[in-house]
Chains A and B, each alone.
Chain A
Amino acid sequence: MPQVFHPSMNTISRVTIFGAVLIVAGLLAVVFTIVRSPYITEVNVVREQPVPFSHQHHVGDVGLDCRYCHTSVEDSSFAGIPPTATCMNCHSQLFADSEMLEPVRESYRTGTPLEWTRVSDVPDFVYFNHSVHVRKGVACVTCHGDVAKMPLMWREHTLFMQWCLDCHWHPEQYVGSPQAVFASGSSGDRQRVAEDLSAVVEVESQTSCYTCHR
């Protein structure tokens, strides 16, 4: 009886069997990598804004306090985006003729708010509250990065649930003095502050599902 298969089938079948394992493993690795890549997470990706607003200039050079613009951060879930009037407090006098700031003046003239693109946004099924984090001593830089060194705004962290949980599991490593919440600086500096203060500040690990998903 003639052979059903050519002898080359031996090699072909070995290659396909082991190849299939490698391909499946490879596909999983690709998915794993893409999900964590800046393409999906937008970490370090500068977003287009109506006006190229520089936190580096306003916070780092001028020395504005975060709360000058983000007024509701201590009392509300939402930190607050300033109305155009806040910009015009200064910019009615400073750079009043700047071409770059024309959208701001137009917004002020017409009463149409500027439509900023939100950089740090958690999904709608997450109930995030700024005020409790600020009150417990989680500094702005811990989540948003050192905006005083950001000429344009980008997302500093992935905002993955894993990232939220890192702190919720071990708050003592991230929480600092409530008085220093609005200070600039790297999160490394803050960690050192935290070691001294974690004993006095009342911090609990909040990891019940209902803390964030209500």
Chain B
Amino acid sequence: MAQSGKNLKHGSTRQQPLVGDYTFGSVTDKISAIVLRGRTPRNWYFGFAVAFLLVMVLLWSVGYLFLRGVGIWGINMPVAWGFAIVNFVWWIGIGHAGTLISAILLLLRQQWRTSINRFAEAMTLFAVACAGLFPLLHLGRPEYFYYLVPYPATTGMWPQFRSPLMWDFFAVATYATVSLFFWYVGLIPDLATLRDRAKRRFSRIAYGFLAMGWRGSARHWQRYQRAYLLLAGLATPLVVSVHTIVSLDFAVSIIPGWHTTVFPPYFVAGAIYSGFAMVLTIAIPLRAVYGLQDLVTARHLDNMAKVMLASGLVVAYGYLIEAFIAWYSGNLFERYMMLNRAFGEYGWCYWLLIASNIVVPQLLWFRSVRHSVPLLFVIALVINVGMWLERFIIVVVSLSRDFLPSSWGLYVPTFWDWATFIGTIGLFAALLFVFIRLLPMISIFEMRELLEESKGEHS
């Protein structure tokens, strides 16, 4: 302990402990008490009420959409992909941080993932749920969405397997399934802990039902570890594949601004970038409200900021290459695309994007910024906005100016575009509120493991 105290004085982040001064019992008490305490805190009710109101906005705008069709949105030719696709790509990207944290960092034995993996995985699930809504709503005839499923139909017709939109369906469906299993399997030992600690009969039965008879025997743990590693192995390629396929939706077409080979890696980096920004956006208020500063420590925030900085630089490289190729290719349309992006009708979006995705995050080079919680929160929010703008520019600006001036046209989002988008933010927040009320937001058993391992480190 003396050693860590000394390090604190010197301010070395590397040596700071990942977890505060806890015992197995006290860490379990701390995390499970958030769920099991009798009274729901008032600020939870307030937050949930706001989120619930936005869910009603979502239902309202989706109901109106089903009534009137996609004409209520600002989309038209040539910009037939508006907010729906922008929001889809944004949400699906956000999910990627959860998978990266839970799968890749697990396989790489990055212990700091332990405090944040549970709610990051929940975030992934909820983000994928929001993302999955948009392509279906965008269909115009959402009742025929099952045409995407290859099943033995009497029509003898199969989905177009050569279309990236088809791959997209599989990528997102696989992603949602694997994420759900991974999250649930990770929850099982904690659900058993909650079952054993719950006071009320209903809670005991509900958690007991979900814990599927977990008793924590050596055999259970041995099988559990194997299953968890297998799922991590399954989830790892998804971190790369899902957003690659999303990027192919664009890259396979011939529209200037879409037809780019750099898209897959640049989309994946952007996904991780926006995902970590969202994890920080959620983690910072959560640890403040629930007093979890000694579980999600300054070292965690520091590490996440570093991941953001690194992935942000890859994204910046992507922007640079797009501009470079526009000049280097000597292609008139590519060059015009780039000039239009920067100085056209939507030029202000581009400069806002550069400011929020490239310029502002450079602050993260400074240790003092990475250790200032309010600054980190603001930077995370700015990156969230920036990544949304990136997708807006890719989808809308590219479509608004294609090869023929006669087919140019602008896109202006309508009230319903905004209502649907804000509604999904409400859905995301509402699901998160329900999650932190009913399930342990930090993995209890993995924190106990971490305590055991870090004890060995210090002695």
Q: Give the residue of A1, A10, A158 whose beta carbon is less than 8 angstroms from that of B196.
A: A1
**1/0 per residue B160-198: CB within 8 Å of A?**
000000000000000000000000000000000001100
A20 within 8 A of B: no
B155–A160 touching, CB < 8 Å: yes
Assess the A160–B154 pair: CB atoms within 8 A.
yes
The stretch of A87-95, A142-150, A161-169, A195-203 in contact with B is A161-169
- A13 & B213 in contact (Cβ 8 Å cutoff): yes
Asked whether A62 is an interface residue with its Cβ less than 8 Å from the other chain, the reply is no
- Of the listed stretches B137-145, B204-212, B350-358, chain A binds B204-212
Q: Residue A25 at the B interface, CB < 8 A?
A: no
- Could you say which residues of chain B place their CB within 8 Å of the CB of A13? 212-213
B330 at the interface (CB under 8 A from A): no
Give the chain A neighbours of B212 by CB distance below 8 A.
Answer: 13
Q: Does B156 make an interface contact (CB < 8 A)? A: yes
Given A9-B213, A10-B213, A4:B155 Cβ within 8 A? no
B156 adjacent to A4 (CB under 8 Å): no
| Given A9-B213, A10-B213, A13-B213: A4 touches B154 (CB 8 Å cut-off) | no
Contact B157 A4 (CB under 8 A): no
Q: Give chain B's interface residue range (CB within 8 Å of chain A).
A: 10 to 19
Q: Considering the chains assembled together, what is the distance between the CA atoms of A4 and B208 in angstroms?
A: 7
Quote the shortest CB–CB distance from A3 to chain B (angstroms): 9
Among A143-189, those with CB < 8 Å from B are 158, 160-163, 165-166
Considering the chains assembled together, what is the distance between the CA atoms of A158 and B205 in angstroms?
52
Among B153, B154, B204, B213: residue with most chain A CB under 10 A: B154
Query: Are the CB atoms of B154 and A35 closer together than 8 Å?
Result: yes
CB interface residues, A 22-67, toward B, < 8 Å: 32, 35-36
Does B11 belong to the interface (CB within 8 Å)? no
B152 at the interface (CB under 8 A from A): yes
Given the contacts A1-B196, A4-B195, A5-B208, A36 and B213 also touching, CB distance less than 8 Å = no
Count A interface residues, CB 8 Å.
16
Among B157, B205, B213, point to the contact of A161 (Cβ < 8 A): B157
Give 1 or 0 for each of B102-117: 1 = CB within 8 Å of chain A CB: 0000000000000000
Q: Which of A1, A5, A10, A35 gathers the greatest number of chain B CB atoms within 10 Å?
A: A5
Within the complex, the shortest CB–CB distance from B246 to chain A, in Å, comes to 27
Contacts of A163 in B (CB 8 A): 156
Alpha-carbon distance between A5 and B204 when the two chains are bound, in angstroms: 10
**Contact A166–B213 (Cβ < 8 Å):** no
Beta-carbon contact of A32 and B152 below 8 Å: yes
**Least distance between B142 CB and chain A CB atoms (Å):** 20
Nearest residue, chain A, Cβ from B212 = A13
Query: In the complex, what residues of A have CB within 8 A of residue B155's CB?
Result: 160-162, 165
Are the C-beta atoms of B156 and A165 separated by less than 8 Å? yes
B156 adjacent to A161 (CB under 8 Å): yes
A1-B196, A9-B213, A13-B213 given; A166·B205 CB < 8 A: no
- Tell me if A158 and B154 are in contact (CB < 8 A): yes
Q: How far is the CA of A1 from the CA of B208 in the complex (A)?
A: 14
Q: How far is the CA of A163 from the CA of B154 in the complex (A)?
A: 8
Q: Determine the chain A residues whose CB is within 8 A of the CB of B154 once the complex forms.
A: 35-36, 158, 160-162
Nearest-neighbour CB distance to chain A for B188, whole angstroms, equals: 14
Instruction: Say whether A4 contacts B152, CB under 8 Å.
Output: no
Q: In the complex, which residues of chain B have a beta carbon less than 8 angstroms from the beta carbon of A162?
A: 153-156
Q: Chain B nearest CB: distance from A198 CB in Å?
A: 22
- Whole-angstrom distance between the Cβ of B149 and the nearest chain A Cβ: 12
In-complex Cβ contact of B156 among A32, A36, A166 (8 A): A166
Q: How far is the CB of B425 from chain A (nearest CB, A)?
A: 34
Residues in B with CB closer than 8 Å to A166 are 156
The docked-state distance in angstroms from the alpha carbon of A5 to that of B153 is 44
Shortest B162–chain A CB gap in Å is 15
Nearest A residue (CB) for B207: A4
Write the chain A residue with the least CB distance to B206.
Answer: A4
Complexed CA–CA distance, A158 and B154 (Å): 9
Min CB distance A123 to B, Å, is 11
Report the separation of the CA atoms of residues A10 and B205 in the bound assembly, to the nearest whole angstrom.
14
Which of chain B's residues has its CB closest to A41's CB? B154
The CA of A112 and the CA of B347, in the complex, are separated in Å by: 73
From A1, A4, A10, A35, name the one whose CB has the most chain B CB atoms within 10 angstroms: A4
Instruction: Tell me, in angstroms, the Cα distance from A13 to B209 when the chains sit together.
Output: 9
Q: Hey, what's the 0/1 contact readout for A78-109 against B, CB within 8 Å counting as 1? A: 00000000000000000000000000000000
Complex CA–CA separation, A4 to B152 (angstroms): 45
* Nearest-CB residue, chain A, relative to B156: A162
Residues from chain A with a CB closer than 8 A to the CB of B157 are 161, 165
Complex CA gap A205/B195 in Å reads: 64
Query: Which residues of B, 125-156, contact A by the 8 Å Cβ criterion?
Result: 152-156
State whether B156 touches A160 (Cβ < 8 A). yes
Beyond the given pairs A5-B208, A161-B156, A165-B156, 5 more chain A to chain B contacts, judged by CB atoms under 8 angstroms and listed by A's residue number, are: A1-B196, A36-B154, A160-B155, A161-B155, A165-B157
Could you jot down 23 A-B contacts, CB within 8 Å? Answer: A1-B196, A4-B195, A4-B204, A4-B205, A4-B208, A5-B205, A5-B208, A5-B213, A10-B213, A13-B212, A13-B213, A35-B154, A36-B154, A160-B154, A160-B155, A161-B154, A161-B155, A161-B157, A162-B155, A162-B156, A165-B155, A165-B156, A166-B156
Which 5 residue pairs of A and B lie closest in terms of their CB atoms, listed nearest first? A162-B156, A161-B155, A160-B154, A4-B208, A165-B156
